[in-house]
Homo-oligomer: A and B are copies of this chain.
């Protein structure tokens, strides 16, 4: 029996542990932090994520879909808040298509509890990975008392996140490409509490956005009636983390810029200065494996910015793709790991780029009239010709089309729509057969 070690018991590590357990492996999971199953999750700072189709597929494969559903809130579209507090709504997809708000901590805890159900999974917490000997495939962990434990594995899965210790070791191997690239914007979370009766202060089934061009505020609903709000903001410049230094400045800025949010948010300035400012990083590397010994999954090989809500979903998709490839290729591990890296790397690159592009869309374009018209035209074509045109957002969020393929199709669609939107008469003719035919012909021409 193969002994596999999963380094990192975060979202991807816990899910991968379940999937490996289901295949009959002896799985040991090592995690740097304390056992989430035992600690009460801190209130105040709760990170929210949006589960979508790719994530659900992997959860279903692990048999935990129902259990996770219980802790999610569907969001059917974007609720935009303009500078006067006026609201508008853009559905994410068709009919009841939604993305699902979920607390990272709650989700992680559930996955750990589900993994615990398997006798062939063991967890070890407070274990810091100090070293990895690639000759012998032996990991060295250190606990809080400084005790050292050496663990030899047949296979190692590095699911230890953007600052992965496993990847740090691979970086020292010859011809390992790597980059960490920080954005000039950071983020700060603010907790908007529930009403006194426990209800939500904003429409519950939407992702709220206050798009403001060079920055934005967003809010995702929590089960307890609160919202986790995030300000994405430049570090430097006229309106920036560096320019807001006093409570008065913060109050003034929010009152002017996000008036309807300001009206309902208590203790704004205190919260603002108590909560940390965090940075946004994109991690890229290649290859994602070391021979037949180590495979990186999730953020450790492809950390992305959060603007497409796909970081976790991409990590979960790693798990489902790996599971399917294992079922197909069997235990030729070198081939399996090579193939996984080769196949998934372009998808990781594509979603990294898409997520970066989507920041501009979210913070700027979603409030733009011509952008909304463009979406309306695209949706019409999608409605009438679903076999010919699926909007990029739907491909990424509601399909299993490879990210790299979605990216290519999206680029093609963009070229077609750029030309259509260039028509002087587009505002009048957008719903005409003429425009529809122009798009369909351009699609045919583009092959």
Give chain A's interface residues, CB within 8 Å of chain B.
163, 171-172, 174-182, 235, 279
- Distance A381 CA – B437 CA, assembled complex (angstroms): 55
Residues of B within 8 A of A174 (CB): 182, 279
Minimum-distance CB pairs A-B, first 5: A179-B179, A175-B182, A178-B180, A175-B279, A174-B279
- Distance A177 CA – B179 CA, assembled complex (angstroms): 8
Residues of B within 8 A of A179 (CB): 177-181
Closest to A280 in B: B175
Q: Is the CB of B177 within 8 A of A180?
A: yes
Residues of B within 8 A of A235 (CB): 175
Q: Is the CB of A171 within 8 A of B175?
A: no
Closest to A184 in B: B175
Contact of A180 among B163, B176, B181, B182 (CB under 8 A): B176
Q: Is the CB of B182 within 8 A of A177?
A: yes
- Distance A180 CA – B175 CA, assembled complex (angstroms): 9
List 10 additional contacts besides A174-B182, A179-B181; criterion CB under 8 Å.
Answer: A174-B279, A175-B235, A175-B279, A176-B182, A177-B180, A177-B181, A177-B182, A178-B178, A178-B180, A179-B179
Closest to A278 in B: B174
Q: How far is the CB of A128 from chain B (nearest CB, A)?
A: 14
Q: Is the CB of A171 within 8 A of B176?
A: no
Residues of B within 8 A of A171 (CB): 180
- Distance A279 CA – B176 CA, assembled complex (angstroms): 10
- Distance A263 CA – B168 CA, assembled complex (angstroms): 46
- Distance A178 CA – B178 CA, assembled complex (angstroms): 8
- Distance A353 CA – B176 CA, assembled complex (angstroms): 20
Residues of B within 8 A of A163 (CB): 172
- Distance A176 CA – B279 CA, assembled complex (angstroms): 10
Residues of B within 8 A of A176 (CB): 180, 182
- Distance A182 CA – B285 CA, assembled complex (angstroms): 11
Residues of B within 8 A of A175 (CB): 182, 235, 279
Residues of B within 8 A of A279 (CB): 174-175
Closest to A281 in B: B175
- Distance A86 CA – B172 CA, assembled complex (angstroms): 43
Residues of B within 8 A of A182 (CB): 174-177
Q: How far is the CB of A389 from chain B (nearest CB, A)?
A: 37
Residue contacts A-B, CB under 8 angstroms, 12 given: A163-B172, A171-B180, A174-B182, A175-B182, A175-B235, A176-B180, A176-B182, A177-B179, A177-B181, A177-B182, A178-B179, A179-B180
Which of A176, A180, A235 neighbours the largest number of chain B CB atoms within 10 Å of its CB? A180
Q: How far is the CB of A243 from chain B (nearest CB, A)?
A: 17
